[in-house]
C-alpha cells in the first residue's frame, strides 16, 4: 500500500494484524510482533494519507507525517524512539487484543497527534534547511516497477514471512549492498538474485520466491522512521543490531569494518558461526523493510 490507502487496503491491514498470534509474549512491549506491526503501519501510508488534506503544503505535510508516524510507532511498539517514556500515558498505548480496527485507531490518532503538535513541529522545521524534507524512507524508482506487484500489497496468502516457513534473509552490507542495488537498477531482479547467490548473500529459503520479492527482501531500505527498532527486536544483541541497522537504511555508512568486528565478537559470544549472526540480523531487518 502507498499514497492514500483505500478502504480495501485498510481492511487488509486489519486482517494481517489480527492474523498475528497475540499470546502473552507477543503482547509485551518491544516484542518482534509489535515491531512488525509498526513496520506495516509505516509501509501502509496510513498516516500520510490521513494528513494530506490537513496539511496541503507539501513541506508541512512531509514534516508532520514523519513526526506523527514516529509517535504512532512508539505507541505500537511500546518503546521510545526519541521520546522520554517517563512522560508517557502508558494507558494510551496500542492494545493488540482490542477488537477495534487497527487502521481506524491509526487514522484517528494521526489526526490528534498532528493537530496537537503542528505549531511546535512546523516552527522547528521552518528553522532547518531544506534537507529536512528529503525522503528518508529510501525511495528508489526500483520499487516502482509497474510490471511488478508491490511486496507490501495485501493478498489473501499473506506476505513472504507468512507463506515461507523459516524464511531467512542474509541482507548485504556496504559495497556489496551498493553493487547489488546497481545491478538491480541496471539489469533487473533476476540478475541481482544470481549475483547475490554467487556473493554469498543468499539462503535456500529464498529459492522458491519471485525474484522481485527476493530483491525487496534483500535490498529494500528500512524506513528511517523505524530507527532504533531493530536493536529492540534483538535485545540479546542490541549493540551489533544498532550498527547493522545503519547499513540497512537509505544512507548506509561506507565503513562497515566496525560492524564486521562486532559480528565476529557476537558469534564468539554465542558459540556459533558468523553466518548465523548475519542471518538473524538480516531477517529481522527484512521484516521491518517489507512489513
Q: pLDDT by residue for the chain (291 residues), tens digit each?
A: 445 778 888 899 999 999 999 999 899 888 888 888 988 898 888 999 889 888 888 888 888 888 898 889 888 988 877 666 767 777 788 999 988 899 999 998 998 888 888 888 886 554 333 333 334 444 343 333 333 333 343 333 456 877 788 899 999 999 999 999 999 988 888 999 999 999 999 999 999 888 888 998 999 888 887 888 888 888 888 899 999 999 998 777 778 999 999 999 999 999 999 999 999 999 999 988 875
Helices (H) and strands (E) in the chain, counts: 14, 0
Contact 290, 209 (CB under 8 A): no
Q: For the chain, what is the radius of gyration of the CA atoms?
A: 19
Angstrom distance (rounded) from CA 270 to CA 143: 36
Which residues 6+ apart lie within 8 Å of 259 measured at CB? 173, 240, 243, 244, 247
In this predicted structure, what is the pLDDT of residue 291? Answer: 58
In this predicted structure, what is the pLDDT of residue 150? Answer: 37
- Residue in the block written with cell 507525517: 65
Q: What is the largest CA-CA distance in the chain?
A: 55
In this predicted structure, what is the pLDDT of residue 272? Answer: 93
Angstrom distance (rounded) from CA 164 to CA 279: 15
Collapsing DSSP to helix, strand or coil, 129 comes out as coil
In this predicted structure, what is the pLDDT of residue 102? Answer: 94
Length, in residues, of the chain: 291
Half-sphere exposure of 93 (CA within 13 A, CB side): 19
Q: Measured between alpha carbons, how far is residue 73 from residues 40, 45, 123, 178 in Å?
A: 10, 13, 23, 28
DSSP 62-98: HHHHHHHHHHHHHHHHTS-SSS-GGG--GGGS--TT-
Angstrom distance (rounded) from CA 92 to CA 233: 22
Best CA proximity match to 225, nearest among 93, 51, 57, 47:
47
Which residues 6+ apart lie within 8 Å of 29 measured at CB? 77, 78, 79, 93
Angstrom distance (rounded) from CA 55 to CA 157: 36
Cell of 46: 496510513
Q: For 148-162, what is the HEC assignment? A: CCCCCCCCCCCCHHH
| CB burial of residue 170 (10 Å; 0-12, 13-18, 19+) | buried
Amino acid at each position: 500500500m502507498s499514497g492514500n490507502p483505500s478502504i480495501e487496503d485498510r481492511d487488509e491491514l486489519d486482517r494481517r494484524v489480527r492474523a498475528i498470534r497475540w499470546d502473552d509474549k507477543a503482547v509485551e512491549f518491544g516484542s518482534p510482533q509489535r515491531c512488525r506491526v509498526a513496520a506495516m503501519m509505516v509501509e501502509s501510508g496510513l498516516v500520510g494519507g490521513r494528513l494530506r488534506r490537513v496539511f496541503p503544503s507539501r513541506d508541512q505535510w512531509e514534516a508532520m507525517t514523519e513526526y506523527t508516524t514516529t509517535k504512532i510507532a512508539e505507541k505500537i511498539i511500546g518503546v521510545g524512539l526519541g521520546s522520554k517514556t517517563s512522560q508517557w500515558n502508558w494507558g494510551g498505548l496500542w492494545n493488540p487484543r482490542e477488537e477495534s480496527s487497527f487502521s481506524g485507531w491509526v487514522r484517528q490518532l494521526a489526526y490528534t497527534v498532528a493537530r496537537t503538535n503542528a505549531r511546535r513541529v512546523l516552527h522547528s522545521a521552518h528553522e532547518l534547511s531544506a534537507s529536512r524534507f528529503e525522503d528518508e524512507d529510501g525511495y528508489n524508482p526500483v520499487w516502482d516497477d509497474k510490471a511488478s506487484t508491490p511486496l507490501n500489497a495485501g493478498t489473501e496468502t499473506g506476505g513472504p514471512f507468512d507463506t515461507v516457513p523459516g524464511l531467512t534473509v542474509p541482507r548485504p552490507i556496504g559495497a556489496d549492498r551498493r553493487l547489488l542495488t546497481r545491478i538491480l537498477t541496471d539489469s533487473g531482479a533476476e540478475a541481482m538474485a544470481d549475483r547475490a547467490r554467487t556473493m554469498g548473500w543468499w539462503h535456500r529459503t529464498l529459492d522458491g520466491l519471485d525474484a522481485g520479492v527476493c530483491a525487496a527482501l534483500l535490498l529494500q531500505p528500512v524506513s528511517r522512521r523505524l530507527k532504533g527498532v531493530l536493536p529492540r527486536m534483538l535485545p540479546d544483541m542490541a549493540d551489533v543490531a544498532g550498527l547493522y541497522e545503519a547499513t540497512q537504511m537509505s544512507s548506509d555508512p561506507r565503513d562497515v569494518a566496525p560492524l564486521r568486528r562486532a559480528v565476529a565478537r557476537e558469534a564468539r559470544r554465542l558459540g556459533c558461526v558468523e553466518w548465523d549472526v548475519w542471518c538473524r540480523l538480516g531477517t529481522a531487518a527484512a521484516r521491518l523493510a517489507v512489513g
